[in-house]
Amino acid sequence: MASEGEIMVESAEVAAGAADMGEAKPRHRLERKWTFWFDNPSKPNQGAAWGSSLRKAHTFETVEEFWCLYDQIFRPSKFPANADFHLFKTGIEPKWEDPECANGGKWTVTSSRKTNLDAMWLETLMALIGEQFEESDEICGVVASVRQRQDKVALWTKTASNEATQMSIGRKWKEIIDVTDKISYSFHDDSRREKSNRSGRYSV
Q: Find the length of the chain.
A: 204
By the rule CB under 6 A, 67 interacts with ligand MGP: no
Residue type, 103: N
Q: Which range in 13-21, 65-73, 92-100, 118-126 contacts ligand MGP by CB under 6 A?
A: 92-100
Q: Which of 147, 172, 174, 201: binder of ligand MGP (CB under 6 A)? A: 147
Least Å distance, CB 25 to ligand MGP, is: 38
One symbol per residue from 97 to 136: x for binding ligand MGP (CB under 6 A), - otherwise; what is it? Answer: x---------------------------------------
Rounded Cα distance between 6 and 80, Å, is: 14
Cα angle 173-143-92, degrees, rounded to a multiple of 5 = 100
Q: Which is nearer to ligand MGP, 124 or 145 (CB)?
A: 145
In angstroms, how far is CA 178 from the centroid of its own chain? 18
Closest to ligand MGP by CB, 19 or 83: 83
Strands of 50-120 (E only): list them: 55-62, 84-89, 105-111
| Least distance in angstroms from the C-beta of 108 to ligand MGP | 7
Question: What SS3 class is residue 49?
Answer: coil
Q: Are 62 and 9 in contact (CB under 8 A)?
A: no
State the residues that interact with ligand MGP by CB under 6 A. Answer: 50-51, 95-97, 145, 147, 191, 195
